[in-house]
């Protein structure tokens, strides 16, 4: 019976492909592996092996994955120091090597060991007709990665030379999806990938079988009480084009060449999803190469369809990627850094409801979901030497790891007052629009707006230093005080000259960005029921996180050297942002806070700030779920500079001193006591020249920057 009669046409597309090379299946020389313990040895010839796999929660218990191994010319003896490794992955509904590039041809023509992986839900019974929802890439990607880990481990154990810099993957439809997911789960492993019309995201129409979109049905439920409820983290992880996750991959220095081949008339795996994914990968500065196939590209031999089938998927791989994969090509790609298997660390992706962690501590990947830390009530927010475990027991904080548990709790406590931090679906394209450019001596000021979330654009000034440096520059996010003109003050357009720090730092050689706080300056924003945020504070935090995205996207910026500075409103706004934004390596806060017990708590509760402090916590400092000693401590081991005016009538300087005293042990715990600095200028609520000069020198030291001209006074125009 032909394959095409076994599976629906949108799952199996073999028309135009070559007949798969006959596979010699040898029985494994070892007994089937026990759960999570025994791994088979390398077969001498092409064969099928069974590998232990991670448990599928929907069917608890031991699970194995069958992997078909294809050597060059069918024999292990043909493997040499130039032989690479390559996955070729079947489609949704398929088994073995169905719907993907023929493994033996890949092995012979590219000198690779080609692996076909019968990952979770292979075959129509489980993937198409099964009662459980279709996994849509996650455990399937882990299964594929385990097969790569196994072949590498066994080659090394057998002292077999091979080329570990050549690790590739391809797959059609569902196999394209698993290829993209495997790269997401192991972003530092693959050299090149070829996605052949794969699914790009678990959209609602696919997840819940909604008519009008794709005709794929993954059988999930949107009802929280249903056993197959699609949790936010499950859907967000399975979005291979998720902008925030792509940025995470780039920050991890993912260098994979990602080749996307997709028909413009594909409705099974919608073409629009492919375009959106490629655009997001491009924005994240990943190495993506699209091949969008239209009717004009059809040649009747290799490309026979501009829809889901595409054509001869074996020859398509050679057509689009041979120059990157073939050892004889002068454009052959090789990875130059260790793969995730050898790093023994973890890959982490933030979700709306927690974090997905892919651990490589054992070499092979093990995935898990860590839900957001439950808000734990601390009766004393100044006591930072203990943390409360989920079981309610109190433990001393003795290591940075202990503190990390408390820091996560501080984030959760802060969200009780400010509302939840938006999930990764809010990280839409920045779509930077430049409005005007002004030259200020050697500094260029660019007025622009950027898309912060799906609903709102943020006006900002971007300053580029004109120091003629060939190396990338450090950058500073510059947040304004409560000033009607918003960004105009740090930008030197209006307001006090002593608060022009965006312009001043640019003159010292920094790239700086000064956004408007929501409802200030040109940022027209209405709070209330129409806003998706529970507070102006959280809206501003998200705008600032996206501002860091913008800075990172600039070619002039060294993304390892970014900080933030602010006075008053900008001072505590910098602290709030740094609580959630680990890319900020240094925080400067001027006249921005003191302990709640020495402050006017109702002043924090306007619609622009945190109204829940009044409505939920009764303006009672004993009830507010966080305090500033925790926020300062949460910056560690990063650097923090505090300027607290001695005669400040907004924030009590003694309340600042107490805050620093309570937070300092955490910096000492991290062995960075010198990274917490506090000064107390003898002034009222201001950021005087001497304090700014000290702050700038602190920033220079932390971000390893030497100003072009140290003699320029801070207030120089």
Among 292, 325, 343, give the residue marking a domain's end: 343
Same domain, 516 and 385: no
- Distance between CA 52 and CA 60 in Å, rounded? 14
- Distance between CA 530 and CA 526 in Å, rounded? 8
Max Cα–Cα distance, the chain, nearest Å: 89
Report pLDDT digits (tens) over 215-265: 899 999 999 999 999 999 999 999 999 988 998 999 899 999 999 999 999
Q: What predicted TM-score, i.e. pTM, was given to this entire model? A: 0.78
CA dist list (Å): 83 to 157, 324, 330, 527: 16, 14, 16, 60
- Distance between CA 192 and CA 74 in Å, rounded? 23
CA dist list (Å): 42 to 46, 159, 165: 10, 12, 20
Same domain, 410 and 462: no
Check pLDDT > 90 for residue 36.
no
Same domain, 246 and 327: yes
Domain extent for 291: 3-343
Check pLDDT > 50 for residue 681.
yes
Same domain, 542 and 600: yes
- Distance between CA 260 and CA 198 in Å, rounded? 9
Report pLDDT digits (tens) over 205-215: 999 999 877 88
Residue 708 lies in a domain: no
Same domain, 335 and 375: no
Same domain, 169 and 62: yes
pLDDT of residue 672: 97
Residue 602 lies in a domain: yes
Residue 448 lies in a domain: yes
Mean pLDDT of 574-597: 96
Residue 386 lies in a domain: yes
Check pLDDT > 50 for residue 609.
yes
Residue 243 lies in a domain: yes
Question: Domain with 637 in it: what CATH number?
Answer: 3.40.50.1820
Report pLDDT digits (tens) over 369-427: 999 877 888 989 999 999 998 888 999 999 999 999 899 999 999 999 999 999 888 88
Domains: count for the chain = 3
DSSP 674: G
Residue 430 lies in a domain: no
Across all residues in the chain, what is the average pLDDT? 91
Which position has the higher pLDDT, 527 or 630? 630
Same domain, 124 and 260: yes
Residue 290 lies in a domain: yes
Residue 707 lies in a domain: no
Among 320, 343, 366, give the residue marking a domain's end: 343
């Amino acid at each position: 019976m032909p394959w095409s009669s076994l599976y629906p046409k949108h799952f199996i597309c073999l028309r135009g492909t070559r007949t798969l090379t006959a596979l010699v299946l040898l029985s494994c020389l070892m007994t089937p592996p026990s759960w999570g313990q025994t791994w088979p040895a390398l077969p001498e010839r092409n064969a099928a092996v069974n590998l232990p796999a991670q448990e599928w929660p929907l069917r608890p218990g031991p699970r194995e994955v069958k992997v078909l191994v294809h050597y060059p010319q069918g024999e292990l003896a043909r493997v040499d120091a130039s032989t690479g490794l390559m996955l070729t992955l079947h489609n949704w509904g398929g088994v073995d090597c169905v719907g993907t590039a023929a493994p033996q041809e890949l092995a012979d023509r590219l000198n690779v060991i080609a692996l076909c992986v019968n990952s979770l839900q292979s075959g129509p019974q489980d993937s198409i007709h099964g009662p459980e929802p279709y996994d849509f890439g996650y455990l399937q990607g882990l299964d594929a990665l385990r097969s790569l880990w196994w072949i590498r481990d066994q080659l090394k154990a057998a002292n077999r030379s091979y080329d570990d810099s050549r690790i590739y993957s391809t797959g059609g439809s569902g196999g394209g999806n698993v290829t993209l997911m495997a790269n997401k789960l192991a972003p530092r492993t693959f050299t090149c990938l070829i996605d052949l019309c794969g699914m790009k995201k678990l959209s609602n129409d696919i997840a819940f079988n909604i008519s009008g979109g794709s005709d794929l049905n993954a059988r999930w439920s949107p009802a929280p009480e249903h056993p197959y409820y699609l949790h936010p983290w499950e859907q967000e992880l399975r979005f291979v084009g998720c902008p925030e996750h792509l940025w995470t991959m780039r920050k991890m220095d993912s260098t994979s060449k990602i080749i996307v081949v997709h028909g413009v008339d594909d409705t099974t795996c919608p073409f629009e999803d492919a375009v959106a994914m490629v655009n997001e990968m491009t924005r994240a500065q990943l190495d993506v190469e699209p091949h969008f196939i239209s009717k004009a590209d059809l040649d009747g031999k290799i490309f026979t369809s501009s829809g889901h089938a595409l054509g001869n998927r074996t020859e398509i791989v050679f057509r689009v990627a041979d120059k990157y994969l073939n050892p004889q090509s002068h454009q052959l790609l090789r990875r130059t850094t260790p793969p995730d298997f050898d790093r023994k660390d973890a890959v982490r992706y933030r979700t709306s409801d927690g974090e997905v962690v892919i651990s490589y501590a054992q070499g092979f990947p093990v995935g898990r979901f860590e839900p957001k830390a439950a808000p734990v009530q601390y009766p004393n927010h100044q006591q930072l030497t203990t943390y409360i475990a989920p079981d309610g027991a109190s433990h001393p904080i003795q290591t940075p790891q202990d503190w990390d548990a408390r820091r996560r709790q501080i984030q959760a406590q802060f969200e009780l007052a400010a509302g939840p931090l938006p999930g990764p679906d809010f990280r839409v394209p920045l779509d930077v629009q430049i409005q005007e450019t002004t030259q200020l001596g050697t500094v260029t000021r660019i007025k622009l707006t950027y898309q912060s979330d799906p609903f709102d654009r943020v006006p900002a000034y971007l300053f580029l230093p004109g120091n003629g440096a060939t190396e990338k520059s450090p950058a500073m996010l510059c947040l304004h005080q409560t000033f009607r003109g918003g960004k105009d003050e740090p930008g030197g357009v209006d307001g006090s000259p002593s608060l022009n720090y965006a312009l001043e730092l640019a003159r010292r050689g920094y790239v700086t960005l000064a956004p408007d706080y929501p409802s200030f300056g040109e940022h027209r924003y209405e709070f209330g029921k129409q806003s998706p945020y529970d507070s102006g504070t959280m809206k501003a935090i998200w705008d600032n996180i996206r501002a860091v995205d913008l800075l990172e996207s600039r070619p002039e910026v060294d993304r390892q050297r970014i900080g933030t500075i602010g006075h008053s409103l900008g001072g505590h706004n910098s602290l709030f942002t740094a609580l959630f934004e680990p890319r900020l390596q240094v925080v400067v806060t001027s006249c921005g806070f003191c302990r709640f017990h020495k402050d006017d708590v109702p002043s924090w509760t306007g619609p622009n700030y945190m109204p829940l402090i009044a409505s939920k916590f009764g303006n009672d400092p004993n009830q507010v779920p966080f305090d500033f000693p925790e926020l300062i401590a949460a910056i560690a081991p990063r650097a923090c500079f505090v300027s607290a005016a001695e005669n400040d009538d907004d924030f009590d300087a003694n309340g600042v001193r107490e805050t620093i005293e309570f937070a300092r042990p955490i910096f000492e715990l991290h062995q960075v006591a010198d990274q917490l600095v506090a000064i107390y200028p003898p002034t009222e609520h201001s950021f005087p020249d001497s304090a700014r000069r000290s702050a700038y020198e602190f920033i220079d030291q932390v971000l390893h920057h030497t100003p072009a001209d140290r003699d320029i006074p801070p207030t120089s125009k």
